[in-house]
Amino acid sequence: MAPDWPTFIEQGFAFDMASLRGIAAPKGLPMAIRDRLVQALEKATNDPAFKLATERAYAPVRFLTSTTYDAELRAGDTLFRQLWKEMPWTDK
């Protein structure tokens, strides 16, 4: 999407990143309602016109199941904890 900008890997950082955003619902939401919500979100994020609009706004989206989303959050947490140990970003 930005061909003139070097990637993290091209700059020597062996990881890639994405902005993860999620949708939350109240605890105890009935499973039938949860399933309908998940199906609606998946349908919306996979709509070709919606995908094109998000790509044009440099904010592409992808649908993740709750299990996959949880796994990505945990992997990111692990990555950033390790990165902090190796190279903490401080003002010192």
Total structural domains within the chain: 1
DSSP letter string over 25-92?
--TT--HHHHHHHHHHHHHHHT-HHHHHHHHHTT-------HHHHHHHHHHHHHHHHHHHHHS-----
Is residue 61, in this structure, part of any structural domain at all? yes
Q: Which domain holds residue 40?
A: 28-86
Count CB neighbours of 67 within 10 A.
8
Does residue 75 form part of some domain? yes
Q: What is the pLDDT of residue 91?
A: 67
What pTM value is reported for the model? 0.67
Q: Answer yes or no: is 36 within a domain.
A: yes
Tens of pLDDT along 4-58?
988 878 888 776 677 888 888 999 999 999 999 999 999 999 999 999 999 999 8
